[in-house]
Structure 1
Amino acid sequence: MDKLIKSLLVIATFAVQTSGMASAHARLTTSEPADGVVLNKSPQSVVLTFSEGLEPAFFQLSIEDAQGAKVDLKDEKVGGQDGKCLSAAPTTPLSAGSYKIDWHVLSKDGHQTAGTVTFKVMP
């Protein structure tokens, strides 16, 4: 019985110690534009903020319209406080419609994360 209790304590201790590791991946904390928002004009830029610092050389960011056409972007970069922001700007104003921001990042801890943010432009 003592062995069983000791084994359970070891397993529980390991689970508690490693649970923080699993959540250490960079996760999206905020986005501008916000997910699901309806804007009355084209955004001048998109800014994605993450919980962890990002590797500046390893990211992908794209914006597509409802038909899947990619929007041309400029000034794509990782920056902000502690390198937690990914940003870019459309080269021309977005016309009315639905848009999807797809992103893939590599956090400083070496983990990859990806996701999508959607928004609409309805002037």
Structure 2
Amino acid sequence: MKRLFLTLLFLLVMVPTITSAHTEISSSNPSSGQVVTEDLKEIVLKFEGEIESLSTINVTKDGKEISLSRVDLKEKQMVGVLSSPLEDGEYVIDWSIAGEDGHPITGEILFSVQMEQKEESEQNAVTTEKEDMNQEMEKKEITKTNSTSENHGHKSSSLITNIMMVILLLILVFGVSKLFRRKR
């Protein structure tokens, strides 16, 4: 009886920690929605937990992949070194990692490159383009936020699942203990 109780108690304690061990991105350079105005030599993604060697990073502009000279994984961060400076335009960083728990996690970061121009007329055009890009980025961020909200809904549903499992295990333990008491 004690072994059964201890085994069930052990399982009860382990279930929530097993299911909630996903690694999330904590910061990036460039950050989402950022307008880069200087030469960018590397892309740095920092995560909350350690990442495995199966992790990848891709940078695209207008659907065309930009080559990286190398990708370094250092504990909780992934660094993609660019083989050449980025031209003006909108870029998407698509990343995929295998977290500590082995689950694949993906995401994307939208940013744009806009090198400063010297002529005033060009600066006015750049300002207009930046405003247009910011509006587009805001629309994309809203879409991304909506998909993130869906992911948070998934997290809350997994929390509800965990709570239900705990309640069921408690009922099981209570029922088994009642059964053994009646037999004695």
What TM-score bracket applies, with the shorter chain setting the length?
0.7 to 0.9
Equivalent of 1:89 in 75, 81, 86: 81
Equivalent of 1:35 in 21, 32, 36: 32
Root mean square deviation, CA, Å? 2.0
The Cα shift of 1:59 comes to 1.3
Q: So what's the TM-score if we normalise by structure 2? A: 0.53
Of all paired residues, the percent bearing the same amino acid is 27
Equivalent of 1:24 in 21, 28, 38: 21
1:77 lines up with 2:72 in the alignment? yes
Q: So what's the TM-score if we normalise by structure 1? A: 0.77
1:29–1:49 contact (8 Å) kept in structure 2: yes
2:68–2:81 contact (8 Å) kept in structure 1: yes
Structure 2 spans left out of the alignment, 5+ residues: 1-11, 116-184
Deviations 1:31-67 (A, max 9, x none): 01111101112311001011110112x01110000x2
Structure with greater contact order relative to length (CA < 8 Å, sep ≥ 6): 1
Q: Which has the larger radius of gyration?
A: 2
Instruction: Name the structure with the higher helix share.
Output: 2
Say which SS state the counterpart of residue 105 (structure 2) adopts: strand
**Aligned pair count?**
106
The amino acid of 2:29's aligned partner reads: E
Equivalent of 1:47 in 44, 47, 50: 44
Structure 1 spans left out of the alignment, 5+ residues: 1-13
